[in-house]
Chain A
Amino acid sequence: GDSVTQMEGPVTLSEEAFLTINCTYTATGYPSLFWYVQYPGEGLQLLLKATKADDKGSNKGFEATYRKETTSFHLEKGSVQVSDSAVYFCALKDTGGFKTIFGAGTRLFVKA
């Protein structure tokens, strides 16, 4: 079945450092890919998405490119802030049904 694998955390960075969180997926067909973020004490919220190969999703300085050849959707940000500290979930939605498959989540700590 479909699955999402993302790098284990926690990831600890200093403010203004470069961030990469790796995400790879296994799916039949052409899934849509998402990054969701969960801040402490809150629900998940969409960070960015891409619906087809070579699409780049971007939001709040975060970017991820849908790479079909490597089945990857890595999250990047050039300069992290303390306020980016959260848990990041990579996810996919296949072309049928209602299920969204979530990765295990990567916790990010950013130090001032």
Chain B
Amino acid sequence: DTEVTQTPKHLVMGMTNKKSLKCEQHMGHRAMYWYKQKAKKPPELMFVYSYEKLSINESVPSRFSPECPNSSLLNLHLHALQPEDSALYLCASSQGAEWIQYFGAGTRLSVL
């Protein structure tokens, strides 16, 4: 099983809402990532968790709050987002020296 599953696929939220994105993998990977991808752009790294500990935070605004409850799950909690936060949010995982990243299909987020 080389699948990374992201839910929901689509999310529309207002600027005062609180919502969460979920990512799950069962490949035994110990590194998990959140990326933000705007239209016609490459993915931008937001956060990296290694062995359930936050290893990288790419100066992401505090309205994005990541959480890694266990080795298979990664959440991204959203609060008081801005319209410019509308994007495709991708989760990925990797393991070992080859550093191949396995991506989910993403959550397409619209902030109104």
Quick check: is A93 within 8 A (CB to CB) of the other chain? yes
Which of chain B's residues 32-61 have a Cβ closer than 8 Å to chain A? 33, 40-43, 45, 48, 50, 55-56
Contacts A32-B98, A49-B98; is A44 near B50 (CB within 8 Å)? no
Inter-chain contact A89/B42, CB cutoff 8 Å = yes
- Is A102's beta carbon under 8 Å from chain B? yes
1/0 per position for B78-108, CB-CB distance to A under 8 A?
A: 0000000000001010100011111111100
B42 is contacted by which of A42, A97, A102 (Cβ under 8 Å)?
A102
CB-CB under 8 A for A98 and B55, given A104-B41, A105-B42:
yes
A43 at the interface (CB under 8 A from B): yes
Interface residue count for B (Cβ, 8 Å)?
Answer: 25
Interface centre among A46, A98, A103 (most CB of B within 10 A): A98
Q: Do the beta carbons of A105 and B40 come within 8 Å of each other?
A: yes
Contact A42-B105, Cβ < 8 Å, known A102-B42, A103-B42, A104-B41: yes
Q: Is B31 an interface residue (CB 8 A)?
A: yes
- Alpha-carbon gap, A32 to B97, bound state (A): 10
On chain B, the residues within 8 Å of A97 by CB distance are 56
List the interface of chain B (C-beta within 8 A of A).
4, 6, 31, 33, 40-43, 45, 48, 50, 55-56, 90, 92, 94, 98-106
Interface residues of A, Cβ cutoff 8 Å to B = 32, 34, 36, 41-46, 49, 51, 89, 93, 97-100, 102-105, 107
Supplied contacts A43-B103, A107-B40, 15 more A-B pairs, CB within 8 Å: A32-B98, A34-B100, A43-B6, A44-B43, A44-B101, A46-B100, A46-B102, A51-B98, A89-B42, A97-B56, A98-B31, A98-B94, A99-B48, A102-B42, A105-B41
